[in-house]
Amino acid sequence: MDETELLIAEARLGLQTKEFLKSPVGRYIVGRADKAREEAFEAWTSCNPNDVETIVELQFRARLPSLVTGWLDEAINQAKHAEESLSEI
């Protein structure tokens, strides 16, 4: 795959990601991610401060939704960069 094909693929992926985020499933996933993060923080505030295992688990549960939404944002940002690069060719 040459550079132009790669840029086109990245641009398409970004467009598909934007459409996914607008879809009912995409909105559901983002909503669930936000809710899961909130629930993890809420549980953390009431857990035993000496329970390291629980704290580590809650940190993971709070961070995972941000990772997922970050990957989606990254796909969109890479698409913008790909579109800019394609316009320069």
- What is the DSSP code string of 22-74? HSHHHHHHHHHHHHHHHHHHHHHHHS-TT-HHHHHHHHHHHHHHHHHHHHHHH
Q: How far apart are CA 86 and CA 63, in angstroms?
A: 34
**The overall pTM is greater than 0.75:** yes
Q: What is the pLDDT of residue 88?
A: 87
Q: What is the pLDDT of residues 15-69, one digit of tens each?
A: 999 999 999 999 999 999 999 999 999 999 999 999 999 999 999 999 999 999 9
Is residue 9 scored above 90 in pLDDT?
yes
List Cβ neighbours of 8 (8 Å cut-off, separation of 6 or more).
Answer: 82, 86
* pLDDT value at 89 more than 90: no
Q: What is the pLDDT of residue 57?
A: 95
The CA distance from 43 to 36, in Å, is: 10
